[in-house]
Chain A
Amino acid sequence: MLQFDRFTLDNGLRVLVHHDPGTPMVAMNIIYEVGSRDEEADKTGFAHLFEHLMFGGSVNIPKYDEPLQKAGGENNAFTNNDFTNYYITLPKNNLETAFWLESDRMLSLAFNKKSLEVQRQVVVEEFKQNYLNQPYGDVYLLLKPLAYKKHPYRWNTIGKEISHIEKATMDDVKAFYKKYYHPSNAILCVAGDVDTASVKALSEKWFGGIPKGQRPPKEYPQESKQTKERSKTVERAVPQDAFYMAWPMPKRLDPDYYTCDLVSDLLSNGNSSRLFQSLVKEQELLSEVNAYITGDLDGGLFMVSGKLYPQSDFEMVEKAVMIELEKLAKEAIEEEELQKVINKAEANLVFSEISVLGKAMNLCYYEMLGDAAWFQQEIVKYRAVTTQKIQQLATSLFNTQKRNILYYKATSRS
């Protein structure tokens, strides 16, 4: 059981505490409810660039990393479509250093010019390293604008193009900070050998004096129902042809989310999964195959992708994949197969809360969804999925009219 205590400061900061006496380390995790979906269409990549700037010094602390290292701490952060997550782990006797650092950068940044210049370059290198200088690295840059036409999910967290990052100005940085980086848009969790009373005292001491901000509205342009298949073909200097199919899937809080997740597991989680057995092992059409969900809050994508052997072609592969997907719609799966994917989901939930950091991240994430206690309920929601629900979902989801498909062709080299 993932037990926790919860309180809210007067300025709106939500704080969660998990007590785990078994470790000398303590984890502090903070979610700011801002992601790339909050960006403007001509300033994409900004939430992520901003994450880098959060390490460029705050109003009273010129360097973030140096004192943290002095306290034996380590930190990192990530940004996705929906939120930005920062975390620290450090020996428990230095917990106050984490409060000091995180509260100061929530109070105000230093807005240092040089830091903006350098981090722009670092992010441009990250863009190149992971998205351009990498075989298949640009798949999502191509696929997302195909699958989304209106919603800000149509661009990637790294940004639509490098030029947006290069153009970011200090005024943009300040405005973004003011709008999203304040106590009422944040969730803090401390997990480790700590007690709630002292976490509360530390929270009030360090975060209590930060002015309350205004919670930004969370409204985004919604997609119209897709009625026609969309496809795109590109050629790249890669060794293998690859395909990426994407269907729009329900929002994170829709009960069908759990059915979708289990369907993706039926298809490709583990060596006994359907697509792996059929396409990789039996028919030997693909060297790898994947089915997964992106799980975004406002409605993610159900993805099926694979890499083709030289003797396979797109047409036969597509047919073979669709046969497997349609099978789920036509025939109810056996109870035992359903049990298998539910067991896998249960194990994954348990594996995700082994470390104090895993626990702190989970608690913040579920609090953002609505209630940290929902983490405990996850397994119940997976267990509520039935073979009928799977069949219904497969019928409505895998509709070729709602399909988006990227054909990623290997340039023939002579």
Chain B
Amino acid sequence: MTSYNHPDRKQIPSLGRPISLKLPQIESIRLDNGLQVFLIPDPTQEVTRMDFVFEAGSARQDKKLLAAAVNQILIEGTPRHSSLEIAGLLDFHGAYLGQFVDKDLAGLRLYSLTKYYDRLLPLMVEILTEAIFPEEELRIFDDRRKQEYQVNIQKVRYQASLEFNKLLFGTHSPYGQVLELEDFGKLKREQLLGFYNKNYSAEGFYGILSGKIDESLLDKLNATLGSAWKGQNQTVKAHKVMIESHPQQQKLIHKTDALQSALRLGCLSINKQDADYPKFSLLNTVLGGYFGSRLMSSLREDKGYTYGIHSVIQHFRDASYFAIATEVNARHTSAALKEISKQIDIIRSEKISAKELDTVKNYVYGSVLRDFDGPFAQADRFMKSRQLNIPFEAYKQNLDEMMQCTSEDLLMTAVKYLNPNQMKTLVVGNTTELIE
């Protein structure tokens, strides 16, 4: 007989049957001018969010910093509102305006209490269609970014992320371009206007409206955004990003007084459309994708070399890569590199146990449920699926396939995609024990 207050503490309580992942059917509307807006409604929220998404990422720029400058200075003035007036209106309504630029996409993301949303929409459309990019604001942007860059570049982690990008994609690829000190002070207002007119346009634009959405908000959206960029072409022209395979396999950057070394190991990898992707994704989780991963267990929990180590598969529209990233105690730089290689060797030569496989699958299941929990998380995922040209439903299919993976599948995947000879290695920090 089990006593009330003496439950069996040795065993994990029996687990429930997995809750199935429910993806919403994402509907879209066309505004009067033909622009497409996707809707992810949730009437229980008091908050509304809209993503205004453009094909205006850094891969489209012909000068470094241009895409970021346009995205930032977008909100610094229109013919009818000064920079301060725009900021004042957003602040007065307690709104949060996110500005985002990645390699493929850029845009604005407005969060606000639903009760104020309709007041802010006209301002958003004005910003998107009538920004003037004052000379003065460009100078301030450039000065501030330069200072920020000089602080960041001192961090081994930041320097490593830039250098690794170059090593992976090659400096001639739009994906491989990274900031350098001499890039500051060069942009001209005309270049900003040129980029803005070309890329912040109907071509490739879409919106995602999430959270609380009522009819009147949709009417307001149509009355404002519905008449923007009239007559412009809305189909995206093909734009393929060139990737140059960089011959260099290893790069060591010595920092004399660094207490920690930043390590990056990785290679270009398969994309989300690839039939092997679900297996590779699960394999990545085993190796470095969660707290209980092989790398975390060994380098942090067993050896204490680091505060954290992770591996990721990162996707852009025209390239994907796999990478292991960590900052380790500088004294243990070479030991840490050896341990990482060892973990890769093990995963390539030994089948993972049924127990570990089961744990990882359950973990992944929970984390996917978490990733799609609520309208704003779904909006993030939906945007990524559009960027990568995969149907939103593919996430569910992906998950189902991961759940079917066997230990044999993972071993084969490891042999195929985690080839040490193809991995590039970057060290920023203590390189004294390492040979070029």
Contact = CB atoms under 8 A, between A and B. Distances in A.
B241 interface: no
B203 to A, nearest CB: 29
Nearest to A118: B304
Contact of B113 (A90, A104, A280, A350): A350
B329 interface: yes
Contact of A205 (B5, B90, B96, B373): B5
A231 interface: no
B113 A287 contact: no
A90 B365 CA distance: 10
B376 A354 contact: yes
Contact of B87 (A22, A126, A239, A272): A272
Interface in B320-342: 327-329
Contacts of B86: 271
Interface in B345-373: 358-360, 362-363, 365-367, 369-370, 373
Contact of B94 (A74, A126, A128, A346): A346
Contacts of A284: 140, 143
A221 B301 CA distance: 37
A93 B155 contact: no
Contacts of A255: none
A403 B307 CA distance: 36
Interface in B251-294: 258-260, 290-292
B151 A347 contact: no
Given A25-B369, A133-B156, A70 B151 contact: no
A339 B155 contact: no
A115 B435 CA distance: 34
Interface stretch (B39-47, B50-58, B229-237): B39-47
Contact of B259 (A122, A132, A205, A344): A132
A90 B47 contact: no
Contacts of B47: 350-351, 354
A340 B92 contact: yes
Contact of B16 (A94, A237, A336): A94
Interface in B203-242: none
A22 B113 contact: no
Contacts of A126: 307
A204 B376 CA distance: 35
Contacts, number: 214
Contact of B306 (A67, A125, A347): A125
B432 interface: no
Contacts of A208: 4-5
A388 interface: no
B147 A25 contact: no
B373 A24 contact: yes
B22 to A, nearest CB: 8
Given A93-B16, A239-B154, A354-B47, A66 B9 contact: no
A189 B94 CA distance: 29
Interface residues of A, number: 78
Contact of A71 (B93, B366, B370): B366
A216 interface: no
Interface residues of B, number: 75
Contacts of B122: none
B359 A128 contact: no
Which secondary structure dominates chain B's binding surface?
mixed
Question: For B4, B112, B148, B366, which residue has the most chain A Cβ atoms within 10 angstroms?
Answer: B366
Given A350-B47, A350-B113, A92 B367 contact: no
Contact of B144 (A104, A125, A237, A280): A280
Interface in B75-107: 75, 83-84, 86-88, 90-96
Contact of B45 (A60, A270, A307, A354): A354
B1 interface: no
A100 B12 contact: yes
Contact of B12 (A65, A97, A287): A97
Contact of B112 (A74, A205, A347): A347
Interface in A221-255: 237-240
Contacts of B359: 66, 69-70
Interface string B129-165: 0000000000010011001101100111000000000
B169 interface: no
B373 A72 contact: no
B247 interface: no
Contact of A65 (B84, B292, B304): B292
A206 interface: yes
Given A93-B19, A351-B96, A238 B151 contact: yes
A204 B4 contact: yes
Nearest to B89: A272
A4 interface: no
Given A67-B12, A272-B91, A288-B147, 18 more contacts: A93-B15, A100-B12, A100-B13, A118-B303, A121-B329, A125-B327, A126-B307, A128-B260, A129-B307, A133-B155, A133-B259, A135-B151, A208-B5, A270-B87, A287-B143, A309-B143, A346-B94, A348-B94
Closest 7 CB pairs of A and B: A72-B366, A93-B16, A121-B304, A347-B94, A209-B5, A271-B87, A239-B150
24 contacts: A22-B44, A25-B370, A65-B292, A71-B362, A91-B19, A91-B369, A94-B15, A118-B302, A119-B304, A122-B306, A128-B329, A133-B259, A134-B155, A135-B155, A204-B5, A205-B7, A209-B6, A271-B90, A288-B147, A345-B94, A346-B113, A347-B96, A347-B113, A351-B96
